[in-house]
């Protein structure tokens, strides 16, 4: 039985549609990145290096975080906090926790640190390596 043309071409058209969908997503991602990048460029372009960012983050960490999370991020601070070593959470998630706090567990630092300072804190928290297995 002869198949209708649409049936014969369907797998090829399906592949084309799939690739088009991925391409569309990629274009959207680029657009969103450009928009978000514009916001980032509005910040003074002092070309802060990663090492500077980490050093800044360490200063903020010592001021606001170490008394709960411990100097080394092991959660052994005076007031008891979470172990921050080897966090699996994304940078955005960590920044969100710092900015908005965690209900009943951690205060919000929205008023204390601006987004660049939070980013520096995240960079420093990322330097805590995972605890060795016992």
Partner 1 sequence: MHPDPALWTTLWPKLHGASAHFPIALALVAAVCEAAAFLLGEGSRRDGLRAAGFYAIAFAALGTVPAVASGLVMTKGETLGHDLLFWHHVFVWPSFAAIVGLAVWRVLTGEKMSRRAQARYLLALLVTAGLISAAGYWGGEMIVNG
Residue 130 found at the interface with partner 1 (CB under 8 A): no
- Pick from 59, 63, 93, 108: which binds partner 1 (CB under 8 A)? 93
19 lines the binding site for partner 1 (CB under 8 A): yes
The residue behind tokens 């399906």 is 14
Cβ distance to partner 1 smaller for residue 41 or 78: 41
Phi, psi of 106 (to 5 degrees): -145, 135
Residue 99 touching partner 1 (CB under 8 A): yes
**Chain centre distance of CA 51:** 18
Q: Is 28 in the site for partner 1 (CB under 8 A)?
A: yes
Nearest residue to 122 via CA among 100, 95, 96: 95
Q: Which stretch binds partner 1 (CB under 8 A): 19-27, 48-56, 60-68, 72-80?
A: 19-27
Give the nearer residue to partner 1 in terms of CB position, either 20 or 63.
20
Dump the DSSP string for 55-117: HHHHHHHHHHTHHHH-TTSSS-STT-----TT--S-HHHHHHHHHH-BTTTB---TTT--HHH
Shortest Å distance, C-beta 118 to partner 1: 10
Residue whose pair of structure tokens reads 């008394």 in the numeric block: 67
By CB under 8 A, the residues from 29 to 88 that bind partner 1 are: 29-36, 38-39, 42, 88
Calpha distance 86→83 (Å, rounded): 9
**Binding stretches for partner 1 (CB under 8 A):** 3-4, 6-7, 9-11, 13-15, 17-22, 25-26, 28-36, 38-39, 42, 88-90, 92-93, 96, 99-100, 115
């Amino acid at each position: 039985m002869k198949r209708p043309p649409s049936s014969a071409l369907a797998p090829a058209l399906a592949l084309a549609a799939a690739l088009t969908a991925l391409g569309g997503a990629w274009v959207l991602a680029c657009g969103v990145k450009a928009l978000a990048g514009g916001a980032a460029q509005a910040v003074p372009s002092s070309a802060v290096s990663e090492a500077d960012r980490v050093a800044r983050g360490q200063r903020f960490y010592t001021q606001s975080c170490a008394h709960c999370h411990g100097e080394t991020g092991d959660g052994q601070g005076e007031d008891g906090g979470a172990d921050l070593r080897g966090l699996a959470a994304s940078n955005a998630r960590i920044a969100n926790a710092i900015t908005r706090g965690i209900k009943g567990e951690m205060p919000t630092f929205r008023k204390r640190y601006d987004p660049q300072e939070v980013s520096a804190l995240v960079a420093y928290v990322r330097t805590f390596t995972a605890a060795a297995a016992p």
